[in-house]
Amino acid sequence: MFPGSCDDIIRQHKAACLRVTALVTCKDLLWIGTSAGVLLTMPLPHIASSTTKLANVPTVTGVPHGHTGHVRFLTSVETTFGSTDVPHRNSYKVKQDQRSNTRLLVISGGDGYEDFRTSNLSEVAGREDSTNHLLLWNI
């Protein structure tokens, strides 16, 4: 069998069995992990108590990096970085400095890593399919 036809079979199988495997929200975005290893984002609509239907269908966007196997989990984490020696004399200054040194990360866990922007086959393709990977996005 030729490598191209193997990839076609795998793609067909992933599409036929496609399901959502993980969800997380972060900064007004819904992150969606799939059984094909593809990650999607969708803006969360603002819904009021009087909302009966959405005016527009939210746009779904594919993330160019994902997993070769299904996405096992998605989570978001708030972390601080930079200097830990923040002066404590002025509590307002401390809170302001901590807020400016804070960032959000979205983390996905799954088998393998795949860059969906390229379709080039390389000699390492498939070698780490079953190795667990954590992918991090700075939000």
Q: Model confidence over 59-89: pLDDT tens digits?
A: 999 999 999 889 999 999 998 866 554 455 5
Res 2: pLDDT: 44
C-alpha 43/C-alpha 136 separation (Å) is 19
Q: Return the HEC string of 74-122.
A: EEEEEEECCCCCCCCCCHHHHHHHHHHCEEEEEEEEEECCEECCCCCCC
Domain ranges for the chain: 3-138
Q: What is the pLDDT of residue 9?
A: 66
Q: What's the average pLDDT block by block, 10 residues per block, for the chain (139 residues)?
A: 58 78 95 94 90 88 93 94 53 52 92 83 57 92
Structure-token match 């890593």, residue found: 113
State the pLDDT at residue 38: 93
d(CA 32, CA 14): 16
pLDDT of residue 128: 59
Residue of 50, 51, 53, 32 whose CA lies nearest to 41: 32
